[in-house]
Amino acid sequence: MEKLLLERDAFIRALSARGNSPHTQKAYGTDIAEFLTFLKDSKSGLDLNALRQWLWVLTDAGATKSTIARKSSSVRAFTAWLLERGVIEVDPGLRLRSPKLDRSLPKVATEDSVSTVLTRLHNLATTDTPAALRDLCAFELLYATGMRVSELAALDVDDFDFSRQLIRVTGKGNKQRMLPYGDAAADAVARWMQKGRNAYALPESPQALLLTSRGKRIGVRQIYALVAKQLEETPTGAAGPHTLRHSAATHLLDHGADLRAVQEILGHASLGTTQIYTHVSVERLKKSFEQAHPRA
């Protein structure tokens, strides 16, 4: 067991070296630690039967399909690592099957809901208070670019090409992409930079675009709370920044954007991942038809 714990630590360090996010590293580390604890408590060996038994225990305890799928993926990656390192001779994870996930369409805010929030934030920002300017800047950028909340929190000032209205974003796997943003977002960024950021910045502050009132880089949770609070007061209901990402992609397709262009904007490795938004658009079209057509 001591050897496996050491290998787990080495595996997490390797994930870091490959550019995986701290969140991903933590998730893998937690899942693998839970499995190793199960092996120790049940006095089981590292084999296929132990893997299946562990997943059965988790299922019996009420874990969802998505949780089981994630944990099994974590452990399969770890057993593959162990085989590669010569710690085990046979990889039991190769024969471990994950549960099939129910395919559900992502939650999307309507254009009216987004417009309502942005109008409200613009009105609040007329006071030129730093917090109001920052909140407007954050919301405008999330919707304008479809970037992940972690990508927004990680943005530095020098990631912007202000003259061309482009942002250099570092996504999953440390991959970079350039995102365009429109005039509304450009105006919100400029106002925050001119009247808000300087009020929060301290000599020791990082070059982060978005700062807290204490001059530190804003966190993902703070951005999440902002978005959830604003959307809660619309028909969409409380939803996080990922809903804005879904909304940006869906609204782009609704207005005729090319699917591959949306793939590039979102930073998806596979076009298949992006295609879910075409299903969202079709579902929205069907609902509109059923509500409006006299013969529906």
User: What does the alpha-carbon distance between residue 99 and residue 77 come to, in Å, rounded to a whole number?
Assistant: 16
Residue 23: active-site member: no
Confirm whether 97 is a catalytic residue.
no
> 126 is written with which tokens?
């007329």
Question: Is 287 one of the annotated active-site residues of the chain?
Answer: no
Q: Mark whether 242 is an active-site residue.
A: yes
Q: Which of 134, 191, 197, 268 is catalytic?
A: 268
**Does residue 3 carry a catalytic annotation?**
no
Q: CB neighbours of 267 closer than 8 A, spacing ≥ 6? A: 148, 169, 171, 172, 175, 177
Instruction: State yes or no: is 214 an active-site residue.
Output: no
DSSP 158: G
Q: Which of 134, 214, 141 is nearest to 179 (CA)?
A: 141
Q: Which amino acid is at 294?
A: P
Catalytic residue among 134, 148, 246, 251: 148
176 φ/ψ angles, rounded to the nearest 5 degrees = -105, 150
- For residue 282 the two structure tokens come to 């079709």
* Set 168, 172, 195, 217: catalytic member: 172
Q: Looking at the DSSP assignment, which residues form a beta bridge with residue 161?
A: 166
- Catalytic-labelled residue, pool 71, 76, 191, 245: 245
Contact (CB, 8 A) for 142 and 149: yes
User: How many angstroms from the chain centroid is the CA of residue 209?
Assistant: 19
Catalytic one of 52, 107, 242, 284 = 242
Instruction: List residues with catalytic annotation.
Output: 148, 172, 242, 245, 268, 277
